[in-house]
A and B are shown apart, each in its own frame.
Chain A
Amino acid sequence: MSKDKDNEIDPVRLWREWFVKSEKTWSDSLTKMMGDERFSSGMGRYMHEALHTHRMFSEAMAQYLANLNIPSRADILDMSDRLAHIEDTLNQLQVELRGQRTQLTKLAAGSGGAPEGTARKRPARTRKPEKRAE
């Protein structure tokens, strides 16, 4: 009984399956259309206009936000850059600490014991490929 129910037709699923199967054909047609000379030329012009609009809108919006005493995108980017600088510094510290731990491990290996908190012993670089059965 339940098997019969499972075999019932689900039109939405059928449509989805058809879409998945025919997607490549549709995509290829669209890509072919986008590769057309006129489309390519239109793309360039569209990008040109979009950049122009973007600049105009950005400048107007920056002025508007400044009048309202609200941070603009440029202010947010300034903050993002400062955060990235802090991240860079933290990265450098992390790298430095790792170097120190490696040095300590080497020293400890020389004196016979690894102090607590030092880096793990590095594996030996002596591995050879396994011989494959003929």
Chain B
Amino acid sequence: MSPLNEEPESADAQAIDQRVERLVERAIARNIPGLRLPQTQSDLDVGPTPKELVFSTETACLYHYEPLQDEVYRLPVLIVMSPVARGYILDLARGQSLVEYLLMQGHDVYMLDWTAPRREQATLGLAEYVVDLVSGCIEAVAGDSGEDDVTLIGYCMGGMLSAMYAALNPRGPVKNLACFTTPINGDGMALYKKWMSSPSFDIDRLVEQLGIIPGDFINSSIQALRPLQRSANQMRLLNNVEDDAFVKAHLRFDRWAVDQLPIPGHLARDMVNDFIVGNKIIDGALALRGQTVDFAKITVPFLHVAALYDHIVPAAASRDLIGLVGSTDKQEIVMKGGHVSLVAGGNAVFRLWPQLDNWLATRGT
């Protein structure tokens, strides 16, 4: 090989070296902002809207949010959270808070948020949650607001509890009922149904031994429904790591997603036996303290909001709700989005919240 031919080859090699070096440097530079993540995680402010504790009993805590308008609608709005989820998903950050939005529109907002049960509360079941705890909070809202009537908004399992309460108290204080992504048909929870119907699955043994079902257990069960989603979210975070707003929003969602509440063993057993395996709501066979839960008895204005891409409560698990309810004034909104982005994502802020406000405003006087 002549020396004349060596020079270009060496120049090519050098160019490749430089190119690789630059790629590595750029990759490192892109990912270095990620080193800030652990610091920002602790700086995240969730649940920023001022609130006061109004009532608490067992695992239920009732909060009243400070009104932001001098004149509010007559009916107080009570948001019932899911017993496995923290309420701050609906008050994630300023400008990304359903609670703040409703207050700005002149609604008087209360929230029934749940706390982790103690060992002595392991025996709280579905009946106690609906008949004692939800009921107790509704009475407390009446006492605090001075209004006997109330509008209920239930999120996920909170929607199930709200609908059950409304069905058991058809002449009661509930004047409007809105359910967000509410599971009602156990057959629609296909994976859980398969697992829990297996003869080798023993819910009694699990409840007897653990007493309280840990939050991590619930978190793992939810993640099993879409096993790689969390990893994909981490990838998405890395791809947007230079965008501070994206990073903060992502971390808030992520913090909430893994922050599942433990639940009493008896509630877990009732959910498995009566809802998922027994599918008693659809069959009209569910009874709480001897009283049949018949959704046809719900005759108040009813709104059901579902998410098109919800993998936690898929359409098959929630779409029967609107048909079961006996109301003549009933409406269903199906939005693009998932289980969480339905209530706290960009689509929610610009599309769902205004529709919800409109629905509440016309029925809140």
Contact = CB atoms under 8 A, between A and B. Distances in A.
Contacts of B72: 123-125, 127
A44 B202 contact: yes
Interface string A3-39: 0010011111100110110011011001100110100
B67 A34 contact: no
Interface in B41-89: 52-56, 61, 66-67, 69-74
Contacts of A47: 201-202, 206
Contact of B227 (A30, A37, A130): A30
A9 to B, nearest CB: 8
A84 to B, nearest CB: 5
Interface residues of B, number: 58
A31 B70 contact: no
Given A27-B226, A30-B227, A44-B195, A91 B235 contact: no
A92 interface: yes
B205 A48 contact: yes
A65 interface: no
Contacts of A8: 22-23, 26
Contact of A51 (B30, B66, B205): B205
Interface residues on A, range: 35 or more
B198 interface: yes
**Residue among A40, A84, A102, A127 with the highest chain B CB neighbour number at 10 A:** A127
A130 B73 CA distance: 11
A23 to B, nearest CB: 4
B363 to A, nearest CB: 9
B208 to A, nearest CB: 9
15 contacts: A9-B23, A10-B23, A16-B238, A19-B235, A20-B239, A27-B226, A31-B225, A40-B201, A51-B206, A98-B53, A123-B67, A124-B70, A124-B72, A129-B362, A129-B364
